[in-house]
Chains A and B, each alone.
Chain A
């Protein structure tokens, strides 16, 4: 029973901290003249808090892990929303699908080779282990 309460407390603490960063980020983004979303600024805030050790990592770890592990689930409601744009999607289906498809392929190719080329000279410890 005590364990369950401790666990619950840890999750609540993590989520409260995450939401505090988010709302601080949203507040800051509304003041900026740029279109950087509040969630990105919130993430930068949490990142700074963690790297300066102001917030110990174990305080946010449970909440972060759960949100990241099930992130794909969070896209389902918007994903299903595709059905409401049937008309415009049908009218411009070709350009939309081809540009997304070809562009994604090009981006994967260019980025992967770029990174491969730039980083090859100084591999990470973890990368070295992978090589035979």
Chain B
């Protein structure tokens, strides 16, 4: 119970210090989440404090993830007039993106010799953590490994996503937001929202639609992938 006294301040301190540093130095590689992990994990290992105690102290932050997903309704609402005009094309893009995300991740993992259990954990990697963990469970994956993949993919998108989109010469806020939300869920969305409010709105739109599509299709799609590539 006393763990909140050191764990929560530590998390907040490390996160906001790296965030401030990243903004000041304009280095996307100094992603606040990645840096927090890089600082806190060795700290816990050196001091021999079990992860369970750290998590118990910072659990309040984890509990806020669910209301944060609910809060994404707000930017969606603000973009309502834009969405209404072309919801068909937005859903089509998200559908294609989700199918590519599920198929490519699982196929490559199976091809490289991953166990079916691990492949099932990798499948929902491009959707936000709560959905990914629920989906992994429904296709007999390991929810915790999915969470790891989700974080990894999210950091990849948040750190390199915009650079890649610039190289590809994708300049419209719609395409940038949809691509980031589809590939890198909430972390991509958080990064987009930092850069531009409207891009963030499209990203959260993709995050939501892809989350729903993935959770609905995965239970039928995974057995097919397993048969074809396994």
Contacts and interface: CB of A to CB of B under 8 A. Distances in A.
A108 B70 contact: no
B57 to A, nearest CB: 9
Nearest to B69: A39
A96 B122 contact: yes
B77 interface: yes
A1 interface: no
A131 B147 CA distance: 39
Contacts, number: 313
A100 B86 contact: no
Contacts of A109: 164, 168
Nearest to A122: B86
A71 to B, nearest CB: 5
Contacts of B186: 71, 75
A73 B12 CA distance: 8
B10 to A, nearest CB: 10
Given A47-B77, A74-B61, A99-B109, A118 B92 contact: yes
Nearest to B177: A115
Given A84-B51, A104-B126, A79 B179 contact: no
Nearest to B170: A112
B219 A107 contact: no
B109 A96 contact: yes
Contacts of A112: 165, 168, 170, 175-176, 178-179
Contacts of A47: 73, 76-77
Interface string B183-210: 1101101100100001010001010100
A111 interface: yes
Contact of B11 (A77, A92, A126, A130): A77
Interface of A: 15, 18-19, 21-22, 25, 34-40, 42-47, 50-51, 57, 60-61, 63-65, 67-69, 71-85, 88-89, 92, 94-116, 118-119, 122-124, 126-127, 130-131
Interface of B: 11-12, 15, 31-33, 36-37, 40-41, 44-45, 51, 54-55, 58-59, 61-62, 64-78, 80, 82, 86, 89, 92-94, 96-97, 100-101, 104-106, 108-109, 112-115, 118, 122, 125-126, 129-131, 134-135, 137-138, 142, 144-145, 147-149, 151-154, 156-158, 161, 164-165, 168, 170-176, 178-180, 182-184, 186-187, 189-190, 193, 198, 200, 204, 206, 208, 211-212, 215-216, 219
Given A69-B193, A71-B189, A112-B168, 8 more contacts: A36-B131, A36-B215, A44-B73, A68-B204, A80-B51, A114-B93, A124-B173, A127-B174
